[in-house]
Structure 1
Amino acid sequence: MKTQVLYMSRTGNTEKIAQAIFSAIPGKNKDIARFAGQTDYDMGDIYFIGFWTDRGSASVEVLDYLGSLQGKKIALFGTCGMGESIEYYRKIEERIKVFIEDGNQYLGCFLCQGKMPMQVREKYLKMRHPGNEGQIQKMLQNFDKALLHPDWKDMENAQRFVHRIYSRL
């Protein structure tokens, strides 16, 4: 079985996770590529599709690609600015996996926190007013924590995700 890792990365976070996933895939019959609107749908039997999260979902290009795959085993992975929220991660997964067509086998999803562009922090600061001080403070704390991600623990968790998938195949 050939495994294909395809990913879209805006700031480099998802690319780091893609590299960790690729290194954990057993054997040599594997490939990794930055997502660039591929149209060759027979590149692999198992796909790890990576994305960065914007407003709780993946880009239209990634969603369209997922919808074009037929008869494949598909695992998702991604990064988002929000951390330590399993509930939020599940919502992201649910929003994205619905684009996987019947006839494919869904293998699961790995998500972790990733750093955000500084413009996001500046936006938070501009949004601050006396009525939302507590909420904005939490958003700023999350932003600052995200600067350290993905970290070595995130990489190890991504690799464990791959090991769990291959142990079930």
Structure 2
Amino acid sequence: MKSIVVYSSLTGNTKMVGEAIAEVLAPNCDIYKVEDNPDITGYDLVVVGFWVDKGTADAKASKFLKSIRNSKVAVYATLGAEPDSEHAKTSLQNGIDMLDSSNEVMGRFICQGKIDPKLLEAMKKM
């Protein structure tokens, strides 16, 4: 099975998770940053990773998720909150909901990651 991992990462955590997924799927797996806008034609599985921004996929990942058609897709996400929280579950589902109905969702995963230092600074000032 030929697979591709496409990720968007702010702090590096989503990238690390994507690299681990690609390693497990190796040797027939390619990995790209979402901004590389890779061609997913010919892949049996498309794995998309995003960091959670305001309760959904970040803007770059959102655009990519919306562009996928007629594929088997797995989606993973990272966020600063507890992965078992309602916010995490809803955020992951919001990202998945961006996929066109022609796709088949094969799996989903969310985990806690680093929090953007800029956000921590802003929260301290509040």
Q: TM-score, normalised by structure 2?
A: 0.88
Higher Cα radius of gyration:
1
Kept in 2, the 8 Å contact 1:37–1:61? The answer is no
Kept in 2, the 8 Å contact 1:37–1:65? The answer is no
SS class of match (1:64): helix
- Structure 1 position 84, deviation (Å): 4.3
Kept in 2, the 8 Å contact 1:5–1:49? The answer is yes
Q: Deviations over 1:115-164 (max 9, x none)?
A: 1133322222222xxxxxxxxxxxxxxxxxxxxxxxxxxxxxxxxxxxxx
Query: Does 1:13 find its partner at 2:13?
Result: yes
In the other structure, the counterpart of 2:32 is 33
- Structure 1 position 109, deviation (Å): 1.5
Distance 1:87 1:61, change over 3 A: same
Q: Distance in 1 between matches of 2:67 and 2:108?
A: 19
Q: Deviations over 1:53-75 (max 9, x none)?
A: 11111123322222221211101
Query: Does 1:88 find its partner at 2:82?
Result: no
User: Which structure features the higher share of strand residues?
Assistant: 2
Distance 1:70 1:117, change over 3 A: closer
In the other structure, the counterpart of 1:62 is 61
Q: Distance in 1 between matches of 2:16 and 2:7?
A: 10
Q: TM-score, normalised by structure 1?
A: 0.68
Query: Does 1:120 find its partner at 2:119?
Result: yes
Gaps of at least 5 residues in structure 2 are: none
Aligned length: 126
- Structure 1 position 43, deviation (Å): 4.9
Distance 1:116 1:71, change over 3 A: same
Gaps of at least 5 residues in structure 1 are: 128-169
In the other structure, the counterpart of 2:99 is 100
**Identity, % of aligned pairs?**
31
Distance 1:84 1:50, change over 3 A: closer
